Amino acid sequence: MTGEKINGSQAAECGLITRSVPLDQLEAEVDALADKRIKMPPEILYIQKLGINRQFEIMGLRAGLDVWMDMSMFFRFFKTEEIEIFSRISAEQGVKAALKWRDDYFASRQE
């Protein structure tokens, strides 16, 4: 919520992801997980996915997504000088340049 970047280890520590692996091990970890899933009956995978989705719905995921959609529409039409600059840089120089501008801008405001 602060806009600060965190790495995979930090994300795992606070429960945003189940685990973090070094980049050089990522492909092997993904392959191992995919191999486990491939060996499972498709019906079981379907039931697991259905259960997970249902749990997210019970927890309010749908309502949360609706809120984010509403906020996205609001910010689409809500213009500030910062939004205008970010949008212009993004269009002219690309998203990477716009994100760098954003990071530099907000870092300077925290000093």
Each residue's pLDDT tens digit, 2-58: 667 889 999 899 888 999 999 999 999 999 999 998 999 989 999 999 999 899 888
Residues 44 and 59 in one domain: yes
Give the count of domains, the chain.
Answer: 3
Is the full-model pTM beyond 0.85?
no
Each residue's pLDDT tens digit, 23-36: 999 999 999 999 99
Residues 47 and 27 in one domain: no
Residues 27 and 3 in one domain: yes
List, in order, residues 6 or more apart from 85 with CB less than 8 Å away: 101
DSSP 21-78: --HHHHHHHHHHHHHHHHTS-HHHHHHHHHHHHHHHHHTTHHHHHHHHHHHHHHHHH-
Full residue range of the structural domain in which residue 105 is found:
79-111
pLDDT-derived band at 106 (thresholds 50, 70, 90) equals confident
